[in-house]
Amino acid sequence: MRRLIVAALAAATVAVPALAGNITIKGSDTMVRLGQRLAEEYMKKFPKSVIQVSGGGSGTGIAALLNNSTDICMASRDMKPAEYSLAKSKGIDVKRYSICLDGIAIFLHNSNPVNELTLAQLKAVYTGEVTNWKNLGGKDAPIVLYGRENNSGTYVYFREHVLKDEDYSERCQTLPGTASVVNAITKDPNGIGYGGIAWATTVKHAGVKINDTTAAVQPESEAVSNGSYPISRELYFFTRGVPTGETKDFINWALSPEGQKVAELVDYIPLHAEAAAANMIK
Amino acid sequence: MDLKYNFKPKSKWREKLGEKFIAVNAFAALIGIALIFIFIFKESIPIFTDATVHEEVTIEKMIKPQVWKEGQEARYSWQPNSTVPKYSLVPLFVGTLKAALIAMLFAVPLGVGAAIYSSEFASKRLREVIKPVIELLAGIPSVVLGFFALIVLATILQDSFGLTYRLNALNAGIALGLAIVPIIFTVAEDAMNSVPGSLRDAARALGANPWQVSFTMVLPAAMPGIAAGIVLGFGRAIGETMIVLMASGNAAILSGSFTESIRTLSATIAAELAEVVFGSPHYNVLFLIGTLLFVFTFLVNLGGDIVLNRLKARFQGRTR
């Protein structure tokens, strides 16, 4: 759904005549809101620049970057080896800039009595070993799994870090976009889902424990940025070669305290100040 | 009435030009379709020929159940982005057929019934309302129907039947049915309307009541048209993408249950093509699915055509 709306918006903005200093940003659905807010604030500050942001998914953004149809690609995962070698074969030296952090929250229905889960429990749930909430301290009801499309960056991250590269249960329903996942959990008392924390407002976040002996950690800004929340990741901007001009200015601004503040306002987690400064393009 | 037929003699070269123009157009359309098919098929060829692709996927792996983990029984699974990519097409096929079956069970009685009512029983004024309204349904974008199924229909079905999965084959099938009712209705209605009034009068003169006229005379006479509508509807149900993408849950489960989630062929292409690495085995498999859908709908239409001609021949009393 969201992908379509964004595509429509993108199509609408294409009609605006191109100006000098025009930047296009494309990619991860998880990062669309971040990209849009950063662009908005940047354009307020520098009225002469025009920045177009659209979603479509990390893979779409990477393909667009390699086909020279976007200046910056947003991606919630690193590029795959196949994608790196494709870039190399095209003679493109891809540069990666970590822009901010994101926690992957576990979404539960508000009425669900379960409040916290260990990583091992999460793995068992998503691989289909545990199929009833009563095994996790909840009521006697089947667990209904929701996840992302198998090409989403979030899907890949979750499989690597929570499922330890095992397969998702085939009963896991895959939905396009984190917003759809949140919407599904809102309507399904037995549902469980995952996604970037910036999206969830109508569902409960489960606390996540590394193992039985540690305390449960809520996916909050502080916990993600100091590394105590176990499922968090970096969100990236990719460019073709070291960016110059407007693109460079924009990325550096996004990494400045001002840009990081904007990210924080839309519920993404800012980088540590030193890390952000170190990431800036010289 | 003052009808004036005005046949102006046309110059020969203009007629020739017009003829050529139409022929060129027809051939352009044919070539266009052929090129599309060649492109889709070309992208799936590496599956048959390329050795590096065969390390990841073969036709056998797509059709037969595979043992993926030691000690586990052989199974059909679609997990193309797994560490060991799995490309079984069987659950996708079954899912597609499940959705289409429910859609047909829902849409055929509704569409044909509405057509019978509109053409045989409704007053002229009522028909003038019913027909455009149902045909207007065809104009609803499928994304809107999908959204309706996702938000409203899924909740209604879950609450009334106590289903575990909100998004399932039933939900997707009914939404799909809504999309094809207008197709079946329009074609069937036209077929019944074109049964000559003189036949109806003759049946009535023999003492048949309106029910007998409709069911024993008009319905069989219009059967080829109705069958065509049903075949068209089925073709659409197989290929429709947006509704199943939104309403089916997209879980590739192989089962006979209609209350579990399904994943269809077309939804798989829509969901995965946008992000797949170009030229990878996964990319080739998605194009193979496209080829299969193409062939499948072609066969359905061809089969429909043959049945249609047979029926036509039978009802018109022609023998070969």
Give B-chain residues touching A57 at CB under 8 angstroms.
274-275
Q: Do A59 and B155 touch (CB under 8 A)?
A: no
In terms of CA atoms, which chain A residue is nearest residue B166? A188
**Distance (Å, whole) CA A37 – CA B192:** 58
Q: What is the mean pLDDT of residues B67-86?
A: 84
Side chain identity, residue B200? R
**For position A19, what pLDDT does the model report?**
44
CA distance A66 to A63: 5
Those residues of chain A that have pLDDT short of 70 are: 1-21
CA angle (B260 as vertex; B256, B262 as ends), nearest 5: 85
Token couple for A113: 């009595």
B90 lies within 8 A of chain A by CB: no
Q: Exposed, middle or buried by CB within 10 Å (0-12, 13-18, 19+), for A256?
A: middle
pLDDT of residue A21: 62
ipTM for the predicted complex comes to 0.80
Q: CA distances (Å), B293 to each of A64, A208, B97, B238, B275, in order?
A: 27, 43, 12, 8, 20
- Rounded Cα distance, B186 and B182, in Å: 6
Are the CB atoms for A148 and A174 separated by under 8 Å? yes
What pLDDT digit, counting tens, does each position of A226-242 carry? 888 999 899 999 999 99
Query: Mind listing the pLDDT tens digit for each residue in B252-285?
Result: 999 889 999 999 999 999 988 877 877 888 999 9
pLDDT at B24: 95
Q: How distant is the Cα of A58 from the closest Cα of chain B, in angstroms?
A: 7
B239 touches chain A (CB under 8 A): no
Residue among A59, A151, A167 whose CB faces B79 most closely:
A167
Burial class (CB in 10 A: 0-12, 13-18, 19+), A210: middle
Cα A38 from Cα A255, distance rounded (Å): 10
pLDDT of B138 > 80? The answer is: yes
Cross-chain CB nearest to A149 (options B166, B253, B271): B271
Interval B56-76 mean pLDDT: 84
| Residues on chain A bordering chain B, Cβ-to-Cβ distance under 8 angstroms | 1, 4, 56-60, 63, 80, 82-83, 86, 142, 144, 149-152, 155-156, 159, 165, 167-168, 170-176, 180, 183-184, 187-188, 190
Output the six-digit token pair for A211: 């193992």
Tokens matching residue B16: 């020739």
pLDDT at B9 over 70: no
- End-to-end, the C-alpha distance of chain B in Å comes to 43
Q: Please tell me the predicted confidence (pLDDT) of residue B304.
A: 82
* Mean pLDDT of chain B, nearest integer: 89
What is the pLDDT confidence band of residue B196, given thresholds at 50, 70 and 90?
confident
Verify whether the Cβ–Cβ distance B167 to A184 is below 8 Å: yes
Q: CA-nearest residue of chain B to A191?
A: B165
Mutate: best of B77, B86, B275, B284, partner A, most A CBs <10 A: B275
Percent of chain B with pLDDT over 90: 53
Which chain B residues are Cβ-neighbours of A188 within 8 angstroms? 166
A156 Cα to chain B: minimum distance (Å)? 8
Interface test with B, best of A170, A180, A181, A190 (most B CBs within 10 A): A170
